[in-house]
Amino acid sequence: MVKDWIRNGLAWLRTRDLRLLAALAVIGGLLLVFLEIAEEVRERETQSFDEAILLALRDAPDDPIGPPAFENAMMHLSALGSGVVTALIVLIATGFFLLAGRRRYALLLVACSAGTGIAMWLLKGLFERPRPTIVEHIDPPGGLSFPSGHSMIAAALYMTLAVLIARALDQRRLQVYVVSAGAMLALLIGFTRVYLGVHYPTDVLAGWTLGLLWALVCGLVVHWLGKRGVREAPPPAPECASESTNE
């Protein structure tokens, strides 16, 4: 009885895309992690942890660790997750995909960015968590704190772009490098928000979690498009180029 059940289960798995099942499992896990963080934040169970981390990154409440040049570097890096910079990146990347004949990629990127922005706006209004007051803000913030918009946008946008770029690469090590670079960029931007004192660590953790979740969803859409054979080929070369090749 048990052997038959195991045999049937293995047969079912062989007919399925294990990577798809794994991605769905990770998405479910990320959702549970976010809900747990959100519940702890709502009950203020994380307040002492959040404040301890903020103070650990400072010699004094108004003086972050490190020289002034390091503080300036953190501010510049943080801007990579701002609405203006990410909107510009989306605009440039969307134009590239359209010119390359990848209309579905362009639509996917716009949907990813728009979906992240809408989710961030709704969640900030739902939780209404104020910005940290235990330390001085180095980068003047605006709006509410939970989840971190910079972290969420960075994780969703840069990871989605990394997945799209990796799909165009043939070598495995290049694919791993691109995806790793996207992940490191998202992690770095999130760290700057805590260092600058404008977000609690749990704000950033929640932002990373939701951003990665959304990036995985977008990656699944790309995978589904590829399975259906709708990865558009680049536009054909001009006739003059083909004629000159034949001569």
Catalytic residue IDs: 150, 199
Q: How many CA atoms lie within 13 A of 28 on its CB side?
A: 6
Number of H-type helices and E-type strands within the chain:
10, 2
Cβ atoms within 10 Å, residue 45: 11
Between CA 134 and CA 121 the distance in angstroms is 24
- Give the CA dihedral 55, 56, 57, 59, nearest 10 degrees: 80
Q: Is the dihedral of CA 148, 149, 150, 152 positive or negative?
A: positive
In this structure, are residues 194 and 204 in contact, taking their beta carbons and an 8 Å threshold? yes
- Which residue type occupies 49? F
Provide the H-helix boundaries in 43-102. Answer: 47-56, 68-78, 83-99
Between CA 115 and CA 200 the distance in angstroms is 23
Q: 85-90 long-range CB contacts below 8 Å, 24 or more apart?
A: 86/113, 86/153, 86/154, 86/157, 87/113, 89/157, 89/161, 90/157
Return the SS3 of 231: coil
